[in-house]
Amino acid sequence: MEEPRCSFCGKSYSEVDKLITGPDGVYICNECVLKAYNLLMHEGKKKQSRKNIPLPSEIKAFLDEYIIGQEEAKLVISVAAYNHYKRIFQQNEEVEIEKSNILLIGPTGSGKTFIAKVLSKVLDVPLAISDATSITEAGYVGEDVESIIQRLLIASDFDVSKAEKGIAYIDEIDKIARKGENPSITRDVSGEGVQQGLLKILEGTVANVPPQGGRKHPLQEFIKVNTKDILFIGGGTFEGIEKIIEERNKKRKIGFAQEITNDDNLRILPQDLIKFGMIPEFVGRFPVIARLNRLSKEELVRILVEPKNALVKQYQKMFEIDGVSLEFEKDALEYIADKALELNIGARGLRAVIEQSMIELMYKIPQNKSIKRCIITKAFLEDAVEPILLNTKNERINLKEAA
């Protein structure tokens, strides 16, 4: 009996590692399967290279719809994100362009994490958010650095190709700073050791990710994820870095006998981050630095009403479902912003202030179908007096009667 042969290349069963039998006596060898796979992958890459990547101006315009203020940071991030994905889908492969991960530095509640969320939305790529404080050096109790990639894989529904072009946001990244500028001779489980552990995945490596989570063990199956095209965004408050910048500017002014510009006073340079406690190799993996400012009262008021997902719009939609029109007086919005500033947690404080005041109202209003308008006043928020409740005839309704 004649030895079976591959229907595509003609090689016999004995000449290949594997021969797969198909219908009607058709065979295909493992070599032709690999060639077909590579051809499909190549065609897929060509198709992806023609992907319409949003221009920097389009990315910023989208960010503007959701994020109030932070103009300089939005501009820097828009350009960096555009360049990153343009690099992935570049046609000319003669020149290899290194990727530029982004470091966001700003106070709590200034919008660092939210920017990453909106960016992933405009770019239509998966996003995974990790906390740097939960990661420890290999061999210690805690999460491996690969847990960052595992979260991205989960966010991509285990589609490796999607994960490999996603965004990994690492929050509280300043908390893995070492305790001083000089390398430590003792173990720093959650500091310098973690920075060292992150270097490879930040630059680009094939990470072995356990599909079920948890720590690795020798007999475990892994999913291989290439991190070279993943955009890493680090976020942190870097509390105290202002003093480092101030000290640097003082030395520069003394040394060169020149005035320091405002830009020099505000700009964060790599040496400032190294002085803070980040190792030089780690700083080098984040060439793009965007600084976010503390939000002002005016910006907090605008955040309440202007963005697409503004808190006031969200509450208005919830009341609208119950057939009630919700309004906030201007001084009520300013009161909410003032209270959020007192909490010192930026935009995060806005929801906390509103929710605390609105919970009883949201409990009682759905019980009375005669209420058609609800006007939130400063007195209601500050002194817990009743809000203005009106029926279809614009007659005042007592909240106790509405209960």
The answer to whether the annotation marks 109 as part of a ligand binding site is yes
Low-confidence winner among 13-27, 211-225, 306-320 (lowest mean pLDDT): 211-225
Question: Per the CATH hierarchy, to which homologous superfamily does domain 56-291 belong?
Answer: P-loop containing nucleotide triphosphate hydrolases (3.40.50.300)
Run of H or E residues at 118: helix 112-123
Q: What's the mean pLDDT in 218-225?
A: 73
Determine if residue 183 is labeled as part of a ligand binding site.
no
CA separation (Å) from 181 to 192, 240, 248, 265, 272?
A: 10, 14, 15, 22, 11
- Is there a binding annotation on residue 374? no
- Over range 321-329, report the average pLDDT: 94
Q: How large is the average pLDDT for residues 322-347?
A: 92
* Cα–Cα distance measured from residue 20 to residue 37, given in angstroms and rounded to the nearest whole number: 15
Q: Give the predicted TM-score (pTM) of the model.
A: 0.76
Position with higher pLDDT, 81 vs 145: 81
Q: What is the mean predicted confidence (pLDDT) over 163-179?
A: 91
Candidate CATH numbers 1.25.40.390, 3.90.1170.50, 1.10.10.10, 1.10.8.60; the one for domain 297-397: 1.10.8.60
Q: Is 120 within any annotated ligand binding site?
A: no
Domain ranges of the chain: 1-46, 56-291, 297-397
> Residue 74 — very low, low, confident or very high, per pLDDT cuts 50/70/90?
very high
- Rg over alpha carbons for the chain, rounded to the nearest Å, is 28
* pLDDT band at residue 213 under the 50/70/90 scheme: low
Buried/exposed 44-81: b ≥16 CB within 10 Å, e otherwise: eeeeeeeeebbebeebbebbbebbbbbeebbbbbbbbb
**For residue 258, is pLDDT > 50?**
no
Is residue 135 a contact partner of residue 190, using CB atoms and an 8 Å limit? yes
Q: According to the per-residue pLDDT averaged within each range, which of 14-23, 135-144, 285-294, 392-401 is highest? A: 285-294
111 labelled ligand-binding: yes
Q: Known binder of ligand: residue 9?
A: yes
Whether residue 51 is predicted with pLDDT greater than 80 in this model: the reply is no
Q: What is the mean pLDDT of the chain?
A: 84
Pair of tokens at residue 142:
């805690």
